[in-house]
Structure 1
Amino acid sequence: MLLEKKNAIIYGAGGAVGGAIARAFAREGARVFLTGRTRASLDAVAEEIAAEGGEVETAQVDALDEQAIETHADAVVRAAGGIDISVNAIRVAEPGIYGIPVVELSPERFTLPVTAYLSSHFLTTRAAARRMIETRSGVIVTITGMPARAATPGAGGVAVAWAGIEALTRGLAAELGPLGIRAVCLRSNSIPETTVIREGYNARARATGQTPEQIQAVAEATVPLKRLPTLADLANVATFMASDQARAMTATVANLSGGLLADS
């Protein structure tokens, strides 16, 4: 098992991405600590993991609440002996921040995702890093999307936020590498299984008179692989990146664009 005897905190574990990563980590032997703002969604993921024999615990933690994050991290260390992996998979889904031209955004709508994403990632990665330093080992995993690098209309402050997360990941890698801690990022293309992408396809379909399936087909046609990534694809890469098999990798972004973004 790739993550046997590893302790992993997953922020935003009640969402599609966080839940998929939590399940994959548990299948590979990790003890997973699921956090999020909604208890019901966390419990649903935890029940699936427990039914498969995985070790799982849940806690209602707002990933923007510094004290809650620190208190939970201390609780994990007391319960498990340390933190080996930290994953931030939160999603900022406030209306009016995505799909709108920058010139039509209010300052509040533009800065909201920048502030929320960067504050959350700063707080969660700092909490994990402080405790990983004590054991001189650990992996911090961040997640972004194509607008972090690609020229994407309608991305607004989300693109800026994700680019900032990637910069934060590189900075963490530089500072923490000598202490045995890795920091890596996953940048994915659109995942049709997620609610935010389905809602986007539906909105575009209504505006153009097409079906959501037609919208997705057009998106897939632009990708060299002729398919978009799945939640399983993302979770599998996250598992590998968090494992010792990727121990030579840090300060890097895993490219799950299906070839649409060519690394240079």
Structure 2
Amino acid sequence: MTTTTTVSGLLEGKVAFITGAGRGIGAAAARLFAREGARVVLAARTESQLKTVAEEIRAEGGIADHVVCDLGDASSIRAAVDRAVELHGRLDVAFNNGATNVPPGPMDQVTEADFDHIYAVNLKGPWLAMVAEIEAIRATAKTGAIVNNSSVGSLMANPELPAYGAMKRGVNSLTASAAATYGPEGIRINAVAPGTTLTEMFSEWVESSPDILQRLNAQTPLGRVAEPEEIAQAAAWLLSDRASYVTGAVLRVDGGMLA
């Protein structure tokens, strides 16, 4: 007599909402979460990118839908989260990954318009998203998990990207506060802090500072950049029931940069 063991996916049966899902870490997360058994709802500003990723997931047998969403706009975020509940009747987990960047340079060269823009998307955006997601989880699944995408640059001085680092440090604080507030209800909230990761956003930084890749790799014990999926793997674990006693953490996924 032979017995077979079925190993279920990390996120089997969960409904997952992912922001910034059209490219980079968000797209990698959407593909991975779907492979791990989640029904995924992808949100971002650029519909063509979202459609491409969602179609790829469906072609591989996954369940994926998309909704256009402006992370700086409260009603837009709420509508996107509501759409996930409309489609699947519940929300279990969310990955707040969407972010923007501004040209690198010292603090006195950051324009007020750029500062306001990066605040609206990278700090206000995750706050708005968490509020909507917590409301949806409470109303449907009752318990769940949220992961915010921070940055290793939030954990140290960030002279080349001062506004970006400041907003991401704010995300760490929101993460800790939310973990303390909603933990008693069984809603876990954590963050990942990626090191150098091969995304389109990072490629734009390389274009303006050609030596940055070499400098960052020299500071990284693993000596290389991360693939987007390597960050997504950490987020998937934090969202899964295997991380059931982890909340309020900022998990460095940085190749040892801050070791």
Whether TM-score is above 0.5 comes out as: yes
Q: Tell me which of 246, 251, 254 is aligned to 1:249.
A: 246
For the residue of structure 2 that corresponds to 1:228, the secondary structure is coil
Aligned-residue offset at 1:258: 1.1
Matched, 1:261 2:231: no
Structure 1 pair 256–230 and aligned structure 2 pair: CA distance change class (3 A): same
Contact persistence 1:110–1:156 (CA under 8 A): no
Contact persistence 1:61–1:68 (CA under 8 A): yes
Q: Equivalents in 2 of 1:73, 1:171: separation in Å?
A: 21
Counterpart residue number, 1:102:
107
Matches within 5 A, 1:71-82: 71-82=79-90
For the residue of structure 2 that corresponds to 1:64, the secondary structure is coil
Structure 1: gaps of 5 or more residues:
206-211
Aligned-residue offset at 1:17: 1.2
For the residue of structure 2 that corresponds to 1:182, the secondary structure is strand
Aligned-residue offset at 1:9: 0.7
Q: Cα RMSD over matched residues?
A: 1.6
Matches within 5 A, 1:115-264: 115-134=120-139, 135-191=141-197, 193-205=198-210, 216-262=213-259
Q: Tell me which of 25, 32, 39 is aligned to 1:17.
A: 25
Q: Equivalents in 1 of 2:80, 2:209: separation in Å?
A: 40
Counterpart residue number, 2:35:
27
Contact persistence 1:190–1:229 (CA under 8 A): yes
Structure 2: gaps of 5 or more residues:
1-8
Counterpart residue number, 1:62:
70
For the residue of structure 1 that corresponds to 2:209, the secondary structure is helix
| One-letter identity of the residue aligned with 1:136 | K
Q: Equivalents in 1 of 2:17, 2:33: separation in Å?
A: 10
Using the aligned pairs only, state the percent identity.
32
Q: Equivalents in 1 of 2:192, 2:86: separation in Å?
A: 29
Q: Equivalents in 2 of 1:222, 1:124: separation in Å?
A: 33
Aligned-residue offset at 1:145: 1.3
CA deviations over 1:33-70 (Å, ceiling 9, x no partner): 01111110001101110111000011112222222222
Q: Equivalents in 2 of 1:257, 1:141: separation in Å?
A: 16
Q: Equivalents in 2 of 1:79, 1:106: separation in Å?
A: 41
Contact persistence 2:34–2:40 (CA under 8 A): yes
Runs of 4+ in 1 over 6 A off after TM superposition: none
